Amino acid sequence: MEARESWAALAAGGIAGVCVDLILFPLDTVKTRLQSPQGFRKAGGFRGIYAGVPSTAIGSFPNAAAFFITYENVKSMLHHGSTSYLAPATHMVAASLGEVVACLIRVPSEVVKQRAQVSPSSSTLRILSQTLYHEGIRGLYRGYKSTVLREV
């Protein structure tokens, strides 16, 4: 894969990811609050519908860019010499590896975002620092395996 194609995949993936995440963010907040054990209203209801958006905004571009750059590179490596009937498998393997890499960025961002969504009075930075203080780096990767399994 040429450097120009890599940069195009990186930029296109990153921009697309940011747009999708920011547009759908309020729906994700409502879903998270509906699933909260404290209940929708106590979790914030419709108040602070953009709580947690900074972690999404920060993590969205590198997450989507990591997926697309991994996907395109793996696809180009596997494509050499493969026959046409293997093309679907090539795309599946490339996408799966892309998700594994992207989840390294996505999961910590999601952990902070979801905690901010159900606790809209806390800042994103405070939630991040509390998570690191109480749970360490492992706390940011809570649910990594299940997220990868879901995405793959």
pTM for this entry: 0.78
Q: What is the pLDDT of residue 82?
A: 60
Q: What is the pLDDT of residue 11?
A: 85
For the chain, which residues make up each domain, given as ranges? Answer: 3-150
**What number does CATH give the domain 3-150?**
1.50.40.10
pLDDT tens digit string along 117-132?
888 778 889 999 999 9
Q: Compute CA distances 68 → 74, 99, 100, 105, 140, whole Å.
A: 10, 9, 12, 13, 23
pLDDT tens digit string along 62-113?
998 899 899 989 998 887 666 677 788 889 999 999 999 999 999 999 999 9
State the Cα angle at 36 between 32 and 131, rounded to 5°: 85
Q: Which residue has the higher pLDDT, 17 or 145?
A: 145
Q: Are 152 and 99 in contact (CB under 8 A)?
A: yes
Q: Is the pLDDT of residue 152 over 90?
A: no
